[in-house]
């Protein structure tokens, strides 16, 4: 039976090209995903879902229906470019009608 090794606060945790001094340094999974994504050109659907704030299932439905965000199909793997996710989020921006309330 394999046991997980306990990490001391001084140990380093490395994911891809990103490393943080301790697990407490990244306060949430989303922040960690964003930091990892900054060093990558394309991410899997789980990380993409965390970045845009949707569920993985919703992204899968968007792909099935042909809705944004754009994605890459590499064999059986699905990847999202960081630039495409940023473009999608920018397209979802709603400008308030401040003239009505002025």
pTM of the predicted structure, to 2 decimals: 0.59
Structural domains present in the chain: 28-94 (1.10.10)
Query: What confidence tens digit (pLDDT) does each residue in 11-66 have?
Result: 334 444 444 444 455 467 767 766 666 667 899 999 999 999 999 999 999 999 99
In sequence order, the β-bridge partners of residue 19 are: 14
**Shortest CA distance to 47 belongs to which of 65, 34, 60, 28?**
34
Which string of b and e fits 46-84 if b means at least 16 CB within 10 Å? ebbbbbbebeeeebeebbeeeeebebeeeeeebbbbbeb
pLDDT of residue 95: 85
Q: Read off the tokens for 65.
A: 């229906």
């Amino acid at each position: 039976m394999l046991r997980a090794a306990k990490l001391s606060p001084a140990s380093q945790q490395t994911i891809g090209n990103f490393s943080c001094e301790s697990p407490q340094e990244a306060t949430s999974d989303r922040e960690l995903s964003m930091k990892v994504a900054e060093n990558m050109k394309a991410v899997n659907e789980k990380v993409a879902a965390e970045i845009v704030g949707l569920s993985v299932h919703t992204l899968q439905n968007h792909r099935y229906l042909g809705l944004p965000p754009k994605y890459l199909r590499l064999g059986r793997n699905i990847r999202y470019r960081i630039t495409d996710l940023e473009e999608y989020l920018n397209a979802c921006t709603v400008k308030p009608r401040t003239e009505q309330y002025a």
